[in-house]
Structure 1
């Protein structure tokens, strides 16, 4: 097993200071415009000095996914997009970047306890998030990752004054790392290559949460799955559709965590270590699969019935965590 650097520890006093600074940054308006160039196109942003330590690890960004946060910026550049259930049955995204960095990403929102387990598969990833519950901050500080919030990386974030808070915080990835780490940093366990034999023709697939839904519709012309969220086609801020090559519906255990929101709703904890069923959508077909992640430090294997690895199509992957039956 490769060596993993431990993340810096955060004391209770430090955690409170980080939270206070993050809240101050949330309330302050940055120098922004109403335009959000996606994937490196559009208006330039003020330059910022890259922060050290991120050149060899992936960048993971927590992205808001309620209607007021759409259209989002930077989703098309992600190598992997994870979708998870949060409080109130809503959804939130985590976009992972390794092959390329967009000019901006957002809106950026808060971290959850489940993120720490999910991110253990990477070698000290950089996690960009707007903040977290004060009781969770020490755990984030102890995790083997590099946490970057407006409280400790103010130069990396800006506010869009044309949007209402808290749905207007954006990240400049170049301020956190000078260049993308490359695909070798994607230690997800995913296999890419030719499609397996068999499969069932599939034109559309919907995954429902209590207060959110994702629909993926196959486009033969694009050879991609067009994403719709809550019944509306998903496009980025430049109007381009979000269209992954592979979609994974991964059935996992979802339980209540020890944390809750301001309304008293418990934060769901999505367990990504273990095993279970999955459906993999690629090339206009659905493939039944099994997933297994033996340890948090390892990636996730997806296999067909005889144990052969199930190859994904080259391109972006969306992984939607769905509640397993029983």
Structure 2
């Protein structure tokens, strides 16, 4: 009888361990996918900064100094944005239904908050290979995409992985109310040296160029207009006809705008309404227009491998330098070129 009692006790303990493991698994999966549908539990309910925790280490035990990339919502109801003016590079991507989302890359400085944060796409994984193991902050992803994110050479940071990193703004409606506290993920800005892997070159403008003070790029359900402001040596940005400013009133004003013509094709992923997520190919080659100093420069772009940076050159192979300051790279379908 004593032996039977011990066996029953062991089975009871094993059942408890199994149940606990299932519960943990469900919570983890929920935290990863919540932002994908716009639902999920509130991550936090206040904007007040919290103490800066030590970011989680890499497998080797050390955290490398690399860029922070944040997937930012760009639906009209998600504007104005927070922290967008501090980004070094902003990539504009087409998503389902012809809408757009932004991928903001931070190296020079980290703002107090960034958002609203939304879900990642397959395109992001190839695009971010240009950086050395970046940290990717995103609200979630489709279930089928999560294994690809886990295998990608980056530090994935969805809600729930680092305590206090995300909060939900009480004055905005979900899913456009999720914000990131960057310092919870990255202890300090890595500096501009972390951007050298992009292949971008900065310096004096190339010879020539055509005067062009306004440029509009259209997606099926979104448009961006960049207007040169000579008094500020920057481009004023308008999204869907409305001037882009941050929540604290700062204008979003890049020094360089790159209109990069790329191939887009259907992916193997769909949103909750059945719309296909377009896949934007950023490896390969093609044409581009570089806008700086109120002029437009014809350029060629080339990125042979995912781990390579993207080079922008003239037809003679000379670098097309960017102006010092924020860079916007608008990824648009090659067939849409005017």
Q: TM-score under structure 2 normalisation?
A: 0.87
Instruction: Kindly state the Cα deviation for residue 15 of structure 1 after the two structures are TM-superposed.
Output: 8.3
Matching residue of 1:144: 153
The unaligned stretches of length 5 or more in structure 1 are 1-12, 34-43
Q: How does 1:155-304 map to 2 (within 5 A)?
A: 155-186=164-195, 187-304=197-314
Matching residue of 1:31: 45
1:50 and 2:60 matched: no
Q: 1:159 to 1:268 in 2, by over 3 A?
A: same
- Asked if structure 2 preserves the Cα contact closer than 8 Å seen for 1:124 and 1:146, the reply is yes
Following the alignment from structure 2 to structure 1, what is the Cα–Cα distance between the partners of residues 270 and 25? 18
Instruction: Kindly state the Cα deviation for residue 177 of structure 1 after the two structures are TM-superposed.
Output: 1.2
Following the alignment from structure 2 to structure 1, what is the Cα–Cα distance between the partners of residues 25 and 237? 37
Q: TM-score under structure 1 normalisation?
A: 0.90
Query: Which of the residues 66, 72, 75 maps onto 1:66?
Result: 75
CA RMSD of aligned residues (A): 1.7
Question: More deviation in 178-187 or 74-83?
Answer: 178-187
Q: 1:227 to 1:131 in 2, by over 3 A?
A: same
- Asked if structure 2 preserves the Cα contact closer than 8 Å seen for 1:127 and 1:148, the reply is yes
- Asked if structure 2 preserves the Cα contact closer than 8 Å seen for 1:16 and 1:134, the reply is no
Instruction: Kindly state the Cα deviation for residue 28 of structure 1 after the two structures are TM-superposed.
Output: 1.9
Following the alignment from structure 2 to structure 1, what is the Cα–Cα distance between the partners of residues 257 and 34? 38
Instruction: Kindly state the Cα deviation for residue 51 of structure 1 after the two structures are TM-superposed.
Output: 1.1
Following the alignment from structure 1 to structure 2, what is the Cα–Cα distance between the partners of residues 295 and 17? 37
Q: 1:140 to 1:97 in 2, by over 3 A?
A: same
The unaligned stretches of length 5 or more in structure 2 are 1-22, 58-62
- Asked if structure 2 preserves the Cα contact closer than 8 Å seen for 1:19 and 1:151, the reply is no
Instruction: Kindly state the Cα deviation for residue 14 of structure 1 after the two structures are TM-superposed.
Output: 9.1
- Asked if structure 1 preserves the Cα contact closer than 8 Å seen for 2:42 and 2:167, the reply is no
Instruction: Kindly state the Cα deviation for residue 23 of structure 1 after the two structures are TM-superposed.
Output: 5.1
| Higher fraction of helix | 2
- Asked if structure 2 preserves the Cα contact closer than 8 Å seen for 1:48 and 1:156, the reply is no
Question: More deviation in 244-253 or 154-163?
Answer: 154-163
1:117 and 2:152 matched: no
Instruction: Kindly state the Cα deviation for residue 152 of structure 1 after the two structures are TM-superposed.
Output: 1.2
Q: How does 1:128-143 map to 2 (within 5 A)?
A: 128-143=137-152
Matching residue of 1:97: 106
